[in-house]
Structure 1
């Protein structure tokens, strides 16, 4: 599924693998970030669309690497306190809020299992055993 928020040339790139509509390297890098596996929509794409995105990544490795570096720098821009030991000072709640928000954002993007799947499977299994 291609995001409806994508510009037309991004949707065309996802659907056909055509990179002719990109206006500059920043536009292309933005596309790679939006279709990434981390915080992007890659998992929501069809198999054919995933193949098109991977082909574009392979065809334009320098732009893809620039997008990865930018995403990494963005993640590293905020201080991380959780998991650190031997801190010079103990972080305050105000210090931890950006990190907690980033962690909550990562968690919200994780796929969630269907809470009813096991119940439905057990019910279906019980019904099929008697047949």
Structure 2
């Protein structure tokens, strides 16, 4: 399902694979980030729509790479606390909030069946843990 807040030229790109509506590279990069597998809507698109997005990524590798680099730069710039064991001090809730928000957003984007399957995997693993 294409997010309702996507502009018409993004919708057209997803529905038809037509990139003619993109006027700037920044807009195209933003599109690739919004339709990514990580933190994007890729997993919610139909098979035909995902094929169109993959076709655009394959057809514009330099823009796709710019989107990947922008996402990496943003991710690396954000401080990380969860899972880090060598912290000099415990982080405050305000410092943790961006990570918590990102995790909650990711969980919210998981399909119901995926989250149920994951819960079953965890439950099965926990049965074997003393």
Q: Same fold (TM over 0.5)?
A: yes
> Which residue does 1:58 correspond to in 2?
58
State the partner residue of 1:108: 108
Query: Which structure has the larger Rg?
Result: 1
Structure 2, unaligned runs of 5 or more: 116-130
Q: Hey, which bits of structure 1, 4+ residues long, moved more than 6 A?
A: none
For residues 39-90 of structure 1, the C-alpha deviation after alignment (integer angstroms, 9 at most, x for no partner) is 2111121111111110110010110111111122222222111111222222
TM-score, length basis structure 2: 0.78
Aligned length: 115
Match of 2:122 in 1: none
Distance (whole Å) between structure 2 residues aligned to residue 9 and residue 100 of structure 1: 32
* Residue 99 (structure 2) pairs with residue 80 (structure 1): no
Q: What residue is the counterpart of 1:91 in the other structure?
A: 91
1:37 corresponds to 2:46: no
Cα distance change of structure 1 residues 114 and 106 upon mapping to structure 2, 3 Å threshold: closer
Deviation string 1:25-47 (CA, Å, 9 cap, x unpaired) is 00111111111111211112111
